[in-house]
Structure 1
Amino acid sequence: MFGEDADATSFGRQDFLAFGREYGIDYRFPDIDGEAPAGDATIARGRIDETLLPSGFRFTHSDLTIFHSYESISLGHAPLLMVIVLEGCVRLSIGAVQRELGSGMAVSLQLRPEFALAAYQPAGQRLETVVLAFDPGAPMLARSEQGSLRALLRGVQDPVVLWDLPQTLRAAIEQSLLTHLPVLQKTLVLEGLALQLAGYGLPEQVQAVGRRSRASSQEHQRLEAVRQRLEFAPTEDYSLAELASRAAMSPSGLRSKFRATYGLSVFGYLRKCRLNLAWHYLEQGYSVQQAAHRSGYRHATNFATAFRRHFGVSPKNVI
């Protein structure tokens, strides 16, 4: 585990890669990747402390000075993952879903193996975060608690929710991190904080379907699974028959119910997700052709036409 000592620790590329192998995270270092290794450059310096709590939450606090930008890509699984930024900036993305977190901001999401979560940490900043991940298979978790928490999380239908950290809760987090306590007391304090964070940041459980949709609650859940797949993995090739099979509907049923629920056709929604993703790549400095291919378009000319129709500007004009 990083940061077991009280003093700040320097973390190089090899330290991050070792951490990634343990937790299933792929790290990339755009500032120095491709350079001839002249020793292990220091990526960050500071502390990373991790505590596994009896409720099944893994509480990770990191306080780092970032010297070289790095990106972490996770394909793991967590019914609930919360990222809270106390200081600094983190950019998160899952497919076409992009979120930028600044100080005092948080995001709650469901981490799934089929959808890669990418987090980009820019250089030249002090970055302090708390990451709370629920592990339903944690050995410390009581069976009764496991069942109730897992049942609660199964009802969550909104996969990514951005929220502001209440000032009182932020103060409680900072105070607990500054206070030196024996292991048992620290675990109890962090347990209480984890449950409060889950209470504030747990996405709403949506039972009712929007007024425009005639779909039943179960049908809505299947439609939402299709929508999330399009948004989280927009670069894949899809057919209406395949998506209808996933939703346990006929192709005509999926076509009409998807439009009634979300206001767009299935492939109109996919096009919107791909174009939003392309805009993100263009903002990062990719060429029009690179952005087109990275967002699922085979031909840059078709992409440029769709982009102008959707946004009203040429992709060449995106800064």
Structure 2
Amino acid sequence: MIQHPDSPSLATLASLIARHTKASGDFPTLVPNLTLHRRATATAPIPCIYSLGLGVIAQGGKQVLLHDSVIDYRAGQGMLTSIDQPVVARVSEGSVAEPFLGMMLTLDMHQILQTAAQMPPPPPPPPPSRASGYRTVVVDELQPGLLSALERLLGLLDEPALIAQLAPLIQQEIIVRLLAGPYSLVLQQLLAVGSPTQQIFRTVAWLKQNFTEPLRIDDLAQRAHMSPSSFRQHFRAIIGVSPLQFHKQLRLQEARQLMLSQNLDVGRAAGLVGYESASQFSREYSRVFGAPPQRDIRRMRETG
């Protein structure tokens, strides 16, 4: 059953998000790993990195540039990302009268593994073909059971005393429904023991914790149990960019957040993320974000 934008359940989800987001912005919640998002206008494209998680749109629409593909998804749909993906994203539908309303649930790999181990094993996923490549992002309609679980998770924001006890149970239900529904194939590729997707996932997780260190391809390849040439090939096929490009994006995204949230100057932010040259940092920042650091941060503050 497809949930159309005017369905009562989707309207309830939108109402819950609207109630807890009084202005445009991104809002963390008391529910672990859950953020809410609201925009009163369409936005400019913004480079960012999507991590393992489920993004859901309750009202409005979004457009995501992934590799060379443009993905449009709208109210009543969810986007599951199984591994960190550099993307360029923008809100494509949103207004003051009908703002964009969405939610993001970051997923935990260990919880997915534990939950999958308790479920009947699915048929083995077909190997990725050259034409289709590795599927790491899936957009699909929200099935009634999944939508119901998301509503109940959001509903806990009105009962904060119950969050610690009930949120983990509902989040586990969401993972079960993801593993059993139309998103299962992309998760199977991630869970397959020794698969390239799983090895690259672990390497990316390490990179996210150590991005201030110099990039050494041979060390990363050894960590992924691959030859350097095979590692480069699989990394680009799965992530969409080279290891060097991904490493730069991690540094630049972190620096951008530091300058935005802590009001750091360019030199300080560049040094904290591992750059030895502030001028090199500024050049690479401008190539990725389309403007020098100070101008970009000023623009972000002005537009909220």
Structure 2 length-normalised TM: 0.44
- Normalized against structure 1, the TM-score is what? 0.43
Q: Which has the larger share of strand?
A: 1
Larger radius of gyration: 1
